Amino acid sequence: DQQVKQNSPSLSVQEGRISILNCDYTNSMFDYFLWYKKYPAEGPTFLISISSIKDKNEDGRFTVFLNKSAKHLSLHIVPSQPGDSAVYFCASSYGGSQGNLIFGKGTKLSVKP
């Protein structure tokens, strides 16, 4: 039973446009959410996080939105750049799991020049 779901295995976007990556979760106890970017043969790189007391967090071109009632979060990248092409993982945690992360299966983003 997947607690964190990324339903789109891939997404293709034109350079300069907005990329929107989506993530759904089932456990209402989750209170900390993160996005990671992963290139082949490298470990995941932390991008941005949000706690459940907020509904939006912004860092440069990256914004994460959290909708607790819908158990949904999204990552917006504006403007998208070819270097953003990678696999993006959504992850969640809650105090009861002592901080270990539960990951989605990832969405492969391709940004075309």
Which region among 10-18, 20-28, 75-83, 85-93 touches other proteins (by CB under 8 A)?
A: 85-93
Give, as ranges, the residues between 7 and 46 that touch other proteins (CB under 8 A): 32, 34, 36, 41-46
Alpha carbons within 13 A on the beta-carbon side of 48: 18
Structural contact between residues 23 and 5, judged by C-beta atoms closer than 8 angstroms: yes
> Using omega within 30 degrees of 0 as the cis cutoff, is the peptide bond preceding 82 cis?
no
Q: Which two tokens stand for residue 64?
A: 């994460």
Distance CA 95, CA 47 (A): 21
Distance CA 47, CA 53 (A): 19
Q: Which of 69, 70, 83, 100 binds other proteins (CB under 8 A)?
A: 100
Which region among 20-28, 60-68, 78-86, 96-104 touches other proteins (by CB under 8 A)?
A: 96-104
Q: Name the residue nearer to other proteins (CB basis): 17 or 46.
A: 46
75 makes contact with other proteins (CB under 8 A):
no
Contacts to other proteins by CB under 8 A: 4, 32, 34, 36, 41-46, 49, 51, 89, 91, 93, 95, 97-106
